Amino acid sequence: MTHSSELLKGTLQTIVLKVLKDHGKTYGYEITQRVKELSEGSIVLTEGALYPTLHKLEAEGLLKTERVMIGKRVRKYYMLTPLGKSEAEERVLEFVDFIKTMSTVLQVQLS
Amino acid sequence: MLTNEDINYIIKDLNYRGIVAEDIQEELIDHVCSAVETEINNGEKFIDAYYKVLKSFGHTGGLRETQKKSIQLQNQKAKNMIKNHLTIAWRNFRKQSFYSFINVAGLAVGIAACLVIVLFIVDELNYDAYNTKANRIYRLNEEIKFGGNHVLICQSGAPAGSSMLQDYPEIEAAVRFRDHGSYLVKPANGTQNIKESHVIWTDSSFFKIFSVDVLEGNPNTALKEPASMAISRSMALKYFPGKSALGESMVLDNKYHARVTAVYEDIPPASHFHFDFLVALVGDWPAAKEAQSVSFLSENFNTYLLLKQGANARALEQKFPGFIKKYFAPQIASALGNDFTMEKFTSNGNKWEITLTPLQDIHLHSDRKGELEPNGNITYVYLFGIIAAFILVIACINFMNLSTARSSNRAKEVGVRKVMGSLRSHLVRQFLTESILITFLSFIIGIGLAYLLLPLFNNLALKQLQLPLVNLFFYLILAGTMLLIGLMAGLYPSFFLSAFKPVNVLKGHVALGMKSGFIRSALVVFQFVISIFLIIGAITVNRQLNFIQNKKLGFEKNQVIIVHDAYALRPFPNVQTFKNEVLKINHLEKGTISGHLPVEGPDSYRNNNTYWKNGRQPTPDNLVGLQSWNVDTDYIETMGMKIKTGRGFSTEFTSDSSAVILNEAAIPMFSLGENPIGQKISTFDGNRPDGSPDPDQIRSWTVIGVIENFHFSTMKEGITPLGLFLNKSDGNVSFKFSSANTEEVIQSIEKVWKRLAPGQPFQYSFLDADFGKMYSAEQRLGKIFEVFAALAIIIASLGLFALTAFTAEQRTKEIGIRKVLGASVGGIVVLLSKEFGKLILIAFFLAAPLAWYAVNWWLKGYTYKVEIGIPVYLLAGVGAFVVAWLTMSYQSMKAALSNPVNSLRSE
């Protein structure tokens, strides 16, 4: 099943950062595919949410970009800046912490 | 894989769906292509694959939403905002280059003028600030009032400083200056004398009180020994180039041999004295002897006190009446010999007071008898400050006026921006950016202008001002003022413009708002009020100067040459020989040797001695302060003075050595009645050992003549009692000449001088030039007024010029229709000028009373003054009107002469 976009909203940046951290240079479409693979199809990033997020992270200085000409089209690769790398780790830890808190709040046992 | 054709299709289709933003477009194309490729690999046909991908984006709506979000994110960056504002501001600036030029030019001139004046004011306010102890240094003043005499002096008797130092523990040190005028100076082994005017006799505490750096020698002991002196660095360079001046010997006035014991750094320009030679006030030379006097009543020493840390000057001042009672009263009483007490003296409305002036107040707040140098005047600082503010305000007003006037041109822009969702605050920011950009440009040009104009101003104001280009603080202040002016000038237009309702603007209603330019009219009126005011000020100062130049002075100032420092010819008979020799030259008719001249300047000594009518007991009520001048028998004739009754001095009467010639003003003061000839006046002729005048040594003089009053001081002062005495005094030799060739006269006199006084400097001047110099402050004021009045009117005219251009532009259609219906060119010019003409008329009626008040205030300072009648005011008003009309008429003519076809065919 696919998760609701409401749930995804707060974690989108974390996902993007983590993907970029693990795969290095990546472009927009690739990110959506990667996320799809990892979540076995249960998380589908909409383009409408992905690009604004990428631009926002770029503006904050966490990402840098590189343009490569591929035939008639231009491909824009995203990668983490040093600041982005540390931020990615932090966000992941923060999220783990969040899950722990949620599990106690919702009183469910995580395997 | 996708073919190029497929990719082109995708690019075109996305473009068609409204994805146009450069950055996002590329990215989405790549994304869509990649996704389509994946679908094709899964076995879809291209077109199906494409639509599937589009669907995942949410079709056109979703695509656009993605684009919009990205753009919004980008635009949140302030950098982009400012960049955008600057771009638009710059485009506007270029599009409206005529108005922009006038804006920038007006503001730049205003800023340049303002900058120069601010530098001037800062300099004036920081006089004597180089002294680290400035806030503890005070000068002693005395105010003396008795009988018909009233003097405010900044000098005290010789023992005043040291007695105070003894009596009041809050005083740390005291120093005295004794000014004996200029000296002829040369190194001991030199042959050529040079005249030096900054020579002062002073105490050894000088270096302890004033922060003057001593470069060579010991400041503590430098002036302790008799015949020692300290000289400034530039003097050391001048007299002892290439070697140390320390220990060298110099000769003053051919007779005083002094040893240089210290060399000090030149005293800064912003100081109320600029001594080059400090001669020790110890030993037995005349000035030093005078310094040992115990008389409190001969006020010849400029005395400065250094108070201890934390001492209260006002509290100290409170103790001075006691000081006067203790030291002054006994000396006055013993001189007057009767039952004099200070209480009785003051209860008769008389006054003898000592006050303190803080060091830093001297330059701007003190104008007393005996000042070391002519001081500045706080009134002029205020006046210039106001003028600077006015000029800046005028320039800002221009800016505001033009911006709002152009509003209709920009109203459409505002409307469209608002419709597109611009907030009012965005528009305000946009307009403020524009005004700050223009201000910035103006500042750059203004600073450049100020840099170029500063030498001219320095010349005019006798200053050495410089732009502090290496001072960070200067730039901070500039940047701050720039922002402030930009904001102030831009605030009104930006709020005015941004308040437009888009509906009205786009319908074209805003042009109606143009006519209700009440504020704009008010601003034009304000500009011209200031301009007319300044013009009247300039005319007044110049009229007064003219009046002074042409006033009957009671002596002939033209064609008189004065040879100064005639004492260089000593021993005495030589000066007589010199005079006789010179009179043998053609065209030189009369000559006189005298200690005093009827003009004030560095070489004209003034004194004030007390006399009374012979036979009376001297009391405070009948003492008369009398200028006593030492002259020879030819003085009255050479100077062209007129004898009213009696006769002048003559060699035929040996008794003339104890005769006096009084001026008219002296007669009533001495109560000499209808026939003063033959009556006598008396004065003290010696001091007792304690320094007080000796009542047993009284000398009397017989009045042999009365001369008509003549002006021997500035026109600010009335003519006070004066007496001429037949005495040998070799200060100056003056000659009346008749030749038009002054060059020849100078050369032939110099020849005689060189022969009789080898090695002495030949110093000369002309009486009329010296007379002019007395009013150099007024002449400078007049010039400065002229310059700033001109600036004000230029800036105001610039503004008016642009404003008329704008009105004419607004009314092209009206003018076209009028012309078609038969209006004449003249009629249209009048029509266009009428509106502004009215404003100038209003400005005139507002400026006139203001100017009248200011003119009366300024002239109040003069005992002899010109009448400023209505014609002057009318002249200023008409002048402003003509200038304004000329600027307007260019635009009006242009509009009136244009072919109506051009303005009407477009509709």
Domain span including residue B72? 4-76
- Examine the pLDDT at B513 and tell me if it is beyond 50: no
> Which of B30, B62, B66 faces A73 most closely, judged by CB atoms?
B30
| Structure token digits, residue B297 | 């009543």
- Same domain? For B305 and B360 the reply is yes
Q: Give a yes or no: residue B87 inside a domain.
A: no
φ, ψ of residue A76 to 5 degrees: the values are -110, 110
- Same domain? For B645 and B539 the reply is no
d(CA B411, CA B829): 28
State residue B233's pLDDT score: 94
d(CA B732, CA B752): 15
Most confident of B148-152, B156-160, B832-836: B156-160
Share of chain B above pLDDT 70, in %: 96
User: Which chain A residues touch B30 with a CB distance below 8 Å?
Assistant: 27-29, 70, 73-76
Q: Is B143 helix (H, G, I), strand (E, B) or coil?
A: strand
Say whether B4 and A72 touch across the interface (CB within 8 A).
Answer: yes
Average pLDDT for B555-570:
86
- Examine the pLDDT at B904 and tell me if it is beyond 60: yes
In tens digits, chain A (111 residues) has pLDDT values of 567 777 777 788 888 888 888 888 888 888 888 888 888 878 877 777 888 888 888 888 888 888 888 877 888 899 888 888 888 888 899 889 988 888 888 888 766
Rg (CA), chain A: 15
- Same domain? For B392 and B354 the reply is no
- Same domain? For B487 and B402 the reply is yes
Which of the four pLDDT bands, split at 50, 70 and 90, describes residue B603? Answer: low
Neighbouring C-beta atoms of residue B190, cutoff 10 Å? 13
Average pLDDT for B657-669:
90
Average pLDDT for B296-305:
90
- Same domain? For B279 and B403 the reply is no
d(CA B649, CA B632): 8
- Same domain? For B766 and B624 the reply is yes
For residue B236, the number of C-alpha atoms closer than 13 Å in the C-beta half-sphere is: 25
Q: For residues B154 and B371, is the Cβ–Cβ distance under 8 A?
A: yes
Q: Give a yes or no: residue B461 inside a domain.
A: yes
User: Which chain B residues touch A27 with a CB distance below 8 Å?
Assistant: 30-31, 34
d(CA B514, CA B410): 12
Say whether A52 and B34 touch across the interface (CB within 8 A).
Answer: no
State residue B706's pLDDT score: 93
- Which residues does B53 contact at the CB level (< 8 Å), separation at least 6? B32, B35, B36, B39
For residue A51, the number of C-alpha atoms closer than 13 Å in the C-beta half-sphere is: 27
State residue B512's pLDDT score: 42
- Same domain? For B766 and B783 the reply is no
Q: What string of DSSP letters covers B375-401? A: ---HHHHHHHHHHHHHHHHHHHHHHHH
Average pLDDT for B322-339:
83
User: Which chain A residues touch B38 with a CB distance below 8 Å?
Assistant: 33
pLDDT tens-place string over residues B233-287: 999 999 999 889 999 999 998 889 999 999 999 999 889 999 999 999 998 888 8
d(CA B505, CA B469): 47
Q: Is B645 helix (H, G, I), strand (E, B) or coil?
A: strand
Helix%, strand%, coil% for chain A, nearest 5: 60, 15, 25
The ipTM is: 0.85
Q: Does B73 touch chain A (CB under 8 A)?
A: yes
- Which residues does B637 contact at the CB level (< 8 Å), separation at least 6? B590, B592, B648
Interface residues of chain A, partner chain B, Cβ below 8 Å? 27-30, 33, 46-48, 51-52, 55-56, 59, 67, 70-76
Between B853 and B510, the higher pLDDT residue: B853
User: Which chain B residues touch A74 with a CB distance below 8 Å?
Assistant: 26, 29-30
State residue B3's pLDDT score: 80
Q: Which residue of A has its CA nearest to B9?
A: A72
Q: Give a yes or no: residue B701 inside a domain.
A: yes
Average pLDDT for B721-738:
87
| Structure token digits, residue B457 | 């101003």
Average pLDDT for B36-63:
84
State residue B142's pLDDT score: 92
pLDDT tens-place string over residues B181-229: 888 899 988 888 888 989 999 999 999 999 999 999 999 998 999 999 9
- Same domain? For B12 and B160 the reply is no
Alpha helices (H) along B462-509: 472-498, 502-507
User: Which chain A residues touch B77 with a CB distance below 8 Å?
Assistant: 59
State residue B383's pLDDT score: 82
- Same domain? For B626 and B502 the reply is no
Average pLDDT for B438-451:
91
State residue B907's pLDDT score: 53
In the listed set B365, B397, B412, which residue is the last one of a domain according to the structure? B365
State residue B210's pLDDT score: 94
Q: To the nearest 10°, report the CA torsion of B517, B521, B526, B532.
A: 160
Angle between helix axes B825-859 and B776-810 (nearest 10 degrees) is: 150
User: Which chain B residues touch A77 with a CB distance below 8 Å?
Assistant: none
Alpha helices (H) along B499-553: 502-507, 510-515, 518-550
Give the A:B interface size as CB pairs under 8 Å: 66
Q: Does B38 touch chain A (CB under 8 A)?
A: yes
Average pLDDT for B469-481:
87
Tell me which residue has tokens 């009136």.
B896
Say whether B66 and A55 touch across the interface (CB within 8 A).
Answer: no
State residue B514's pLDDT score: 46
Distance from CA of A37 to the nearest CA of B (A): 14
Residues found in chain A: 111
Distance from CA of B25 to the nearest CA of A (A): 10
Distance from CA of A43 to the nearest CA of B (A): 14
- Which residues does B852 contact at the CB level (< 8 Å), separation at least 6? B873
State residue B76's pLDDT score: 65
User: Which chain B residues touch A62 with a CB distance below 8 Å?
Assistant: none
3-state helix/strand/coil string of B411-468: HHHHHHHHHCCCCHHHHHHHHHHHHHHHHHHHHHHHHHHHHHHHHHHHHHHCCCCCCC
State residue B477's pLDDT score: 87
Q: Which residues pair with A69 in a beta bridge?
A: A74
d(CA B140, CA B368): 11
**Lowest mean pLDDT segment, chosen from B245-249, B508-512, B539-543, B610-614:** B508-512
State residue B75's pLDDT score: 65
Say whether B70 and A55 touch across the interface (CB within 8 A).
Answer: yes
- In chain B, how many domains are there? 5
- Same domain? For B767 and B824 the reply is no
Average pLDDT for B539-543:
87
User: Which chain B residues touch A52 with a CB distance below 8 Å?
Assistant: 66, 69-70, 73
Average pLDDT for B398-412:
72
Tell me which residue has tokens 């001219």.
B456
Say whether A48 and B31 touch across the interface (CB within 8 A).
Answer: no
pLDDT tens-place string over residues B765-788: 898 888 888 888 778 878 877 888
Share of chain B above pLDDT 90, in %: 22
In the listed set B704, B738, B773, which residue is the last one of a domain according to the structure? B773
d(CA B340, CA B620): 9
| Structure token digits, residue B40 | 């094709």
| Structure token digits, residue B225 | 């020994």
d(CA B681, CA B712): 22
- Same domain? For B495 and B573 the reply is no
Q: Which amino acid is at B621?
A: D
In the listed set B773, B797, B824, which residue is the last one of a domain according to the structure? B773
| Mean of all residue pLDDT scores within chain B | 85
State residue B229's pLDDT score: 92
- Same domain? For B584 and B474 the reply is no
Distance from CA of B450 to the nearest CA of A (A): 44
Which of the four pLDDT bands, split at 50, 70 and 90, describes residue B660? Answer: very high
- Which residues does B896 contact at the CB level (< 8 Å), separation at least 6? B815, B819, B825, B826, B828, B829, B832
Q: Which CATH class is domain A5-106?
A: mainly alpha
